[in-house]
Amino acid sequence: IAGITQAPTSQILAAGRRMTLRCTQDMRHNAMYWYRQDLGLGLRLIHYSNTAGTTGKGEVPDGYSVSRANTDDFPLTLASAVPSQTSVYFCASSDQGANTGELFFGEGSRLTVL
């Protein structure tokens, strides 16, 4: 079934450790996004990529980095995790050629930083 796959589903991490959340899509969408979802704050954009080879900063980029080496993959890295990065992370993609901005979401990665 076509869609977005995120891994891991859930992870507990010690503060200071490095962590990469993986995201892969098989819809050949050119744009991909990372959001974090926190209770009472809704979804906030971390980083995005409009096409392979380019990335941009969202609303809350500090402490995170991304890369877009190819169309399908968009990993999110926490170089040195802190407790405030405890959240549920959602990867999404869109076909910008459709010019609608409709997003397709993965099922999320729940990260706990202790």
Partner 1 sequence: SQQGEEDPQALSIQEGENATMNCSYKTSINNLQWYRQNSGRGLVHLILIRSNEREKHSGRLRVTLDTSKKSSSLLITASRAADTASYFCATVNSGNTPLVFGKGTRLSVIA
Q: Give the footprint of partner 1 on this chain (CB under 8 A).
A: 4, 31, 33, 35, 40-45, 48, 50, 58-59, 90, 92, 96, 100-108
Cα distance between residue 74 and residue 70, in whole Å: 8
Residue 36 token pair: 């974090």
Whichever of 15 and 41 has its CB closer to partner 1, that residue is 41
Q: How far is the CB of 37 from partner 1 (least distance, A)?
A: 9
Quick one: which of 81, 78, 92 has its CA closest to 21? 78
Shorter beta-carbon distance to partner 1: residue 4 or 113: 4
Q: Which three-class secondary structure state does DSSP give residue 39?
A: coil
